[in-house]
């Protein structure tokens, strides 16, 4: 007779791809546009040999820098005095 292992293997826990997927950041900035606007953006980007995201990067980085400067200024303001 063939010798079979009597050991019972524990079943592997089945995960989902969402739990295995690792992204650089879970946050993103988005703006909804019309289908026509999206098509125009895509054609314009393709004509310049880049992706739409690459074209937006400098503007988004500038906006983030301005927002960080703004938040930094808020942190530097002295606390307002309250009357007792």
What pLDDT digit, counting tens, does each position of 8-47 carry? 677 766 667 666 666 677 788 899 999 999 999 999 999 9
Q: How confident is the model at residue 55 (pLDDT cuts 50, 70, 90)?
A: very high
Does residue 83 belong to any structural domain of this protein? no
Looking at residue 41, what is its pLDDT?
A: 97
Please report the DSSP string for 20-71 in residue order.
Answer: H---S-S--------HHHHHHHHHHHHHTTS-HHHHHHHHHHHHHHHHHHHH
Quick check: is 51 in a domain? yes
Supply the range of the domain harboring residue 59. 31-76
Residue 33 is predicted with a pLDDT of 95
Domain count, the chain: 1
What pTM, to 2 d.p., does this model score?
Answer: 0.57
Domain-located, residue 37: yes
Any domain includes 41:
yes
The verdict on residue 2 lying in a domain is no
Q: How many CA atoms lie within 13 A of 29 on its CB side?
A: 8
Q: Residue 59 — very low, low, confident or very high, per pLDDT cuts 50/70/90? A: very high
Contact 45, 51 (CB under 8 A): yes
* 19 located within any domain: no
Alpha carbon of 2 to those of 5, 6, 70: distances in Å? 10, 12, 75
């Amino acid at each position: 007779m063939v010798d079979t292992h009597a050991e019972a293997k524990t079943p592997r826990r089945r995960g989902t791809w969402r739990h295995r997927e690792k992204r650089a950041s879970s946050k993103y900035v988005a703006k909804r546009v019309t289908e026509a606007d999206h098509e125009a953006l895509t054609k314009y980007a393709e004509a310049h040999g880049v992706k739409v995201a690459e074209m937006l990067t400098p503007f988004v980085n500038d906006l983030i820098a301005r927002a960080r400067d703004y938040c930094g200024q808020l942190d530097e303001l002295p606390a307002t005095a309250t009357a007792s």
